[in-house]
Amino acid sequence: MTRRRRRHLAVLAATTLVITGAGAGVARAEVPPDAPEQISNGDFSEGVTPWFSYGTGALDIVDGRLCTTVPGGLANPWDAGIGHDGVRLNAGAEYRLGFDISSAPGARVTAVLQLGTAPYTSYASVPAVAGTETQRVEQTFTVPDDNPNAQLIFQVGGTAAEQRLCLDNVSLRGGEAAPPYVPDTGPRVRVNQVGYLPGGPKNATVVTPSTEALPWQLRSAAGAVVASGQSTPRGVDAASGQPVQTIDFSTYQRPGTGYTLVADGETSHPFDISGDLYDRLRADSLQFFYAQRSGIAIDGDLIGEEYARPAGHLGVAPNQGDTAVPCQPGVCDYSLDVRGGWYDAGDHGKYVVNGGIAAYQLLSAFERTKTAETAAGGAALGDSTLRVPERGNAVPDILDEARWEIEFLLRMQVPAGKPLAGMAHHKIHDRAWTGLPLAPQDDPQPRELHPPSTAATLNLAAVAAQCARLFAPYDAPFAARCGTAASTAYAAAKAHPAIYASVNDGTGGGAYEDNNVTDEFYWAAVELYLTTGKKAYLDDLTGSALHTGDVFGAAGAFGWQSVAALGRLDLATVPNGLPAADRARIRASVTDAADRYLTALRAQAYGLPMPGDAGSYVWGSNSNVINNTVVLATAFDLSRDAKYRDGAVQATDYLLGRNALNMSYVTGWGEQNAHHQHSRIFGRQLDPSLPNPPAGSLAGGPNAALQDPYAAQLLNGCAPMFCYVDDINSYATNEVAINWNSALAWLASFLADQGAATAVAPRTCAVTYQVHGTWPDGSNTQVTVRNTGTAAINGWTVRYAFTGDQQVTQAWTAKVSQAGATVTARNESYNAKIAPGGSVTFGLLSRTGTLANPAPELITVNGGACTVS
């Protein structure tokens, strides 16, 4: 699903340069009528894009013109404006700026060409007196400096009366046409530049005009040929427009570093074959969230001194938030302390719907450790495994990181006693867009709460419900707080089921509009049911049409605007009380969707589980690739069928270099990797004193719609997979975002858990978990372990994790302990051996609280998963 269009603008300066060739008695510069046009969509025939505004009302297209309402009483002309980024200027070149303009009742307007970042140098200005009748304004001038990414701003503020202002036929001709952009794609043999798992699939793509199979060689770092074969012709790849062939070298499994693949006279970038290939990526992808934290000083000792900075948005000048943030005018009569959370993307805004899915995916990555046998009980995500300041507090670090966002989400809830109490404000961000780069602590803009929405409220309900069950073993008061917020939010959403965020509320931050919240209602009902087991939530989820429909999209299984699949995946994996037949149907729907993604993957010469048409390459396409891959990975966890694991592993190749651009989209990973992502914090491309995004940051990826002016001018006519540029100015193809990195973190954790990706071993044990009796605050359980293998078990350790808030209080015939949600039972001296076909039984008493406590479905013996009944 396409994300919102992101705009950025400069804080305008009041200075103006004298324009050469514009005054009386001065020879007018001649600009040929066929000189290059530097403005995109100046006649507004394609809508508003790529134009933006600040300090005005929404931009509308009326009778083919761009119109807006400008409030009266603004102190300065530059307090409101309409702008266009990505204007190419050449020093000494002559330009003609022209535009049609009207304003009622009438206003003075100045069109300014300027540098879009500090010090906001003005190159030229064109004044106009706009009245109720449309007039044409044209002026020629010479600019003094080169700038491939200047900004045109119509300064429209400073009038006493409110204005209705319209523009049309905006044109800037002159200078040089942008040279054809030819990306450096490196060697024509495209591989995963990080590497391959020893037992996993190993595929590459060769760009070649040859239609005959080509010989290939796999070479060691020393240059020795260690494997060879023939490629497979694939014709012209639809997504890239390239003639390609594919290479499969999966049979070679020897670990090593510095391998290269040679075909058609080209040598690939080097790569490794290793079972610990993705261990560091799990940590790197998660450290992105610490770097994006708001309201806390970032410790350079944890993630690198170049990323150290003071806390942002704690009300310390020049910040004007976030400890007491008022609403937009007319929205509410209170202020909220909404400190904390993660900065959403390249801006300083914080959005509940995007924060919701991002927090969910971190929580889901942890919850997977309770249900997936390859996750090894979550040891790799436990306390002191990540670079976060809370390490060492006996809480899994990934939960600590998720909590930073959840605390913010809870603060966005409308207080009791206020209109729409229990709802969640949709977002909080700057009143106007700011320029790049800008450190959070230096942001001078006023901050505003935007109206509550049903979508945001249901995101809060879903994530807070998930929080309640996952934090119960570690912080019961916080879990209870989450549970209360979840049920309150859900009730508020049911009372106000159709309050939607406005598509026009996009000044200073993204709109994140969503006018269909049936999926949010379904997801929230699922999470509340999984947490509480209450019939009311069960009735709501089973009564939804989404419960039995297909919820997995072809281009993207799920995203911030389409969340039904999150509920489906959790019903399939998290233990719950649904009838067995319904549970089987739900699980089958996951594997059915995974089969469709495998079909798509096999049809793509670059091996990604997404169709190759332009409509599939949207804003944040890389996250769609990953979310489809999450479905493949989940299908493997459910079925133990290696084809799904292999599909997930192969899909990752696309992200790490096996693509048309030969580009790893993850900063710091691969020989040629994205590192100039659109970000106000990580602006090294514009200011060498600043860092690039930290290692593990995911770029948005190819976007065939080219929804920013820089990409639109540079990449016009691109094949879908080529609609990307690693430049900070391209926010539509190259932004960072928390919901993209949360997807990467989930996938990286899954990949790291696969180790060498060896063959799936048959199970050699079976466990019967039987609750013999329950009472209001407890239960009596008997666990029987049977050896179904051919060798005796000499000493056993049984492990499983509770879903809810159970605590073991007593046990017999085994030494039983509990850490967090994980129960560990070890043999006594007299029952250590279990012969083939033999069994052993132990019992325990548990204290239960208010949450649902279904029987665990993953139980291991000596680290190996057993069949559970």
Six token digits for residue 215: 């010989």
Instruction: Output the CA angle 800-805-810, nearest 5 degrees.
Output: 65
Six token digits for residue 591: 């594997």
Indicate if 595 belongs to the active site: no
Indicate if 85 belongs to the active site: no
- Find where tokens 């020989």 sit: 671
Could you give the dihedral angle defined by the CA atoms of residues 23, 28, 33 and 34, in that order, rounded to the nearest 10 degrees?
A: -110
- Rounded (to 5) percent helix, strand, coil in the chain: 25, 25, 50
Out of 168, 284, 430, 735, the active site residue is: 735
Task: In whole angstroms, give the CA distance from residue 869 to residue 867.
Answer: 7
- Contact, 122 vs 19, CB < 8 A? no
Out of 100, 322, 344, 347, the active site residue is: 347
CA-nearest of 866, 865, 854 to 781 is 854
- Contact, 5 vs 49, CB < 8 A? yes
Indicate if 168 belongs to the active site: no
What is residue 536's three-state secondary structure?
helix
What is residue 867's three-state secondary structure?
strand
Six token digits for residue 597: 């993604």
Instruction: Output the CA angle 594-595-598, nearest 5 degrees.
Output: 90
Rounded (10°) angle between helices 642-655 and 580-603: 50
H/E/C letters for each residue in 300-327? HHHHCHHHCECCCCCCCCCCECCCCEEE
Out of 85, 646, 726, 857, the active site residue is: 726
- Contact, 267 vs 259, CB < 8 A? no
Q: Other CB atoms closer than 10 Å to residue 334's CB: what's the count?
A: 14
> How big is the chain, counted in residues?
869
DSSP codes joined into one string, 566-607: HHHHHHHHS---S-HHHHHHHHHHHHHHHHHHHHHHHHSTT-
Write out the E strands in 194-252: 195-196, 203-207, 215-219, 225-230, 232-236, 243-248
Q: What is the CA radius of gyration of the chain?
A: 29
Q: Give residues with Cβ within 8 angstroms of 497, minimum separation 6.
A: 454, 517, 521
Six token digits for residue 810: 């007593």
**End-to-end alpha carbon distance in the chain:** 40
Task: In whole angstroms, give the CA distance from residue 194 to residue 196.
Answer: 7
CA-nearest of 120, 171, 186 to 147 is 120
Half-sphere exposure of residue 783: CA atoms within 13 angstroms, side-chain side? 34
Out of 79, 678, 708, 805, the active site residue is: 678
- Contact, 167 vs 98, CB < 8 A? no
- Contact, 426 vs 502, CB < 8 A? no
Indicate if 133 belongs to the active site: no
Return the amino acid letter for 315. Answer: G
Task: In whole angstroms, give the CA distance from residue 792 to residue 389.
Answer: 45
Is the preceding peptide bond at 119 cis, omega within 30 degrees of 0? yes
- Contact, 695 vs 284, CB < 8 A? yes
H/E/C letters for each residue in 668-716? CCCCCECCCCECCCCCCCCCCCCCCCCCCCECCCCCCCCCCHHHHHHCC
DSSP state of 77: G
CA-nearest of 383, 353, 366 to 467 is 366
CA-nearest of 493, 522, 519 to 426 is 493
Task: In whole angstroms, give the CA distance from residue 150 to residue 87.
Answer: 5
Task: In whole angstroms, give the CA distance from residue 693 to residue 673.
Answer: 11
Active site residues: 347, 678, 726, 735
